[in-house]
Amino acid sequence: MHKNRSSSKGKEALTPSSSPRTPTPSNIICWWCVPKFGPPAVELFSEGEEVTLRCRDWRKGRGHGWFIKSNRTEGRIFSVESDQRMSRVSWYDNGSLVISNISVGDTGEYWCVVFDNDYQCESTERTVLVYMEPFGIYSTFFKVRCSVLSVLLLILVYTGFNTAWYTLALKQGMGHIHAEKTFKLEHKRQKQQTEIMGRKT
């Protein structure tokens, strides 16, 4: 991996991939289109896995190149050269980039640039690699824990609702019983008064 600096414009000119084609000075023009077009794709990974990034816009008859801006590059953008003997990164002519035994240091942004036979940029794609912590929000443990908590919450809500309904029903039932007793007592009192009045007459 290497890069060239352009002193005339104060920008970084990235050295293009040599792929099956021989790099020429006109290739450098293509790499000025590396800006981030559109929302990036997000790829989650765990340490030790093998991750394959694909250049979806690539097709036969078109060239392509890959650029990396990861924790390992300390915020700088590097081009991936196909003729380099990189131990963990492999670049294939079908538009894919394979990273073996991936680690936290590989977290970052990966660009695929597609260009035509005149080395004019046709499209760029950006993929963001995100490290999936064992107990982080993307982990299986976190998802299972959230599912369990959701079930427990539903149980608590259901239990609370049933308890409130039972309490209300009980209160209503007790009120009905009290009203019935009051009615009977009042009826008995009126009956007794009627009997007393009858005796007096």
- The per-residue pLDDT for range 57-108, each reduced to its tens digit, is 777 667 788 888 888 777 787 777 644 445 688 878 888 888 888 888 888 8
Average pLDDT rounded to a whole number, residues 121-141: 71
Helix or strand or coil: residue 19? coil
Q: Is the confidence at residue 159, as pLDDT, over 70?
A: yes
Q: What is the pTM of this model?
A: 0.47
Q: What is the pLDDT of residue 201?
A: 64
Q: How confident is the model at residue 180 (pLDDT cuts 50, 70, 90)?
A: low
Backbone angles phi, psi at 24, to 5 degrees: -130, 165
The token duo for 130 is 């995100």
The token duo for 129 is 């690699």
Please state, in angstroms and rounded to a whole number, the distance separating the CA atoms of residues 112 and 30: 12
122, 116 in Cβ contact below 8 A? yes
